[in-house]
Chains A and B, each alone.
Chain A
Amino acid sequence: GENVEQHPSTLSVQEGDSAVIKCTYSDSASNYFPWYKQELGKRPQLIIDIRSNVGEKKDQRIAVTLNKTAKHFSLHITETQPEDSAVYFCAARTNAGKSTFGDGTTLTVKP
């Protein structure tokens, strides 16, 4: 089955700095890669996603890059703000539709 590894497990940055979270996947059939933000006790919220026919996608301060050959994708958050503090999960999904999640990254943005 699919295996998704996510790094780092914790990340602390100063407000205004950039944050990068990386994920690797094992199943070359995976073709959809969403990123979720989860605040304590709440549901995961989709913040950005990318499909395998695209190499990069940007939405304001958030961007995702995908390297299909290397089987890795990354989340980039620029100009971080304290409200960006949360747990971020990456996921990889095949056409069968089942998503495999990374273990999560706890991001802390210090004011």
Chain B
Amino acid sequence: GAVVSQHPSRVICKSGTSVKIECRSLDFQATTMFWYRQFPKQSLMLMATSNEGSKATYEQGVEKDKFLINHASLTLSTLTVTSAHPEDSSFYICSARRQVTTEAFFGQGTRLTVV
């Protein structure tokens, strides 16, 4: 099966610091990875789409300078929350897929708490 690993699963950071979240496809090459944010009892909101070797495409309303996405290889994408504030506290989930026509698999998510 297709396994997507996300790390860390939980992180607590101080306001003003930056946090990096990694998303890895363990047994397949992911041409595209997606980053979502999920508030409690709400749906998954797409933040950005990243294709290996190119700049991420951000959804409307998502600050690209605050949420830095890097997809340097076919198995790794990173999301860096810069200068984090309490309102950035949320559940962040990545998903990865091989090709446009295949299903995407989710990482286990990262619970970010900014204090």
Q: A84 contacts the other chain (Cβ, under 8 Å)?
A: no
> Given A101-B44, A103-B42, A43 and B100 touching (CB < 8 A)?
no
Residue count of chain B within 8 Å CB distance of chain A: 21
Q: Kindly count the residue-residue contacts between A and B in the assembled complex, taking CB atoms under 8 Å apart.
A: 46
- Interface 1/0 per residue, B92-110 and A, CB below 8 Å: 0100010011011111110
| Residues A102 and B43 in contact, CB atoms below 8 Å apart | yes
Q: Give every chain B residue within 8 A of A36 (Cβ-Cβ).
A: 106
Q: A70 contacts the other chain (Cβ, under 8 Å)?
A: no
Q: How far is the CA of A22 from the CA of B54 in the complex (A)?
A: 37
- Interface 1/0 per residue, B21-64 and A, CB below 8 Å: 00000000000101000000111101001000000000000000
- Interface 1/0 per residue, A29-72 and B, CB below 8 Å: 00010101000011111100100000000000000000000000
Q: Give every chain B residue within 8 A of A42 (Cβ-Cβ).
A: 108-109
- 9 additional A-B residue pairs with CB within 8 Å, beyond A32-B101, A95-B101, A98-B34: A32-B103, A43-B93, A44-B44, A44-B93, A97-B32, A97-B100, A99-B46, A99-B104, A101-B44
Interchain Cβ contacts under 8 Å between A and B, 22 examples: A32-B103, A36-B106, A41-B111, A42-B109, A43-B106, A43-B107, A43-B108, A44-B44, A44-B93, A46-B103, A46-B105, A49-B103, A89-B44, A95-B100, A95-B101, A96-B100, A97-B32, A97-B49, A97-B97, A97-B100, A98-B46, A103-B42
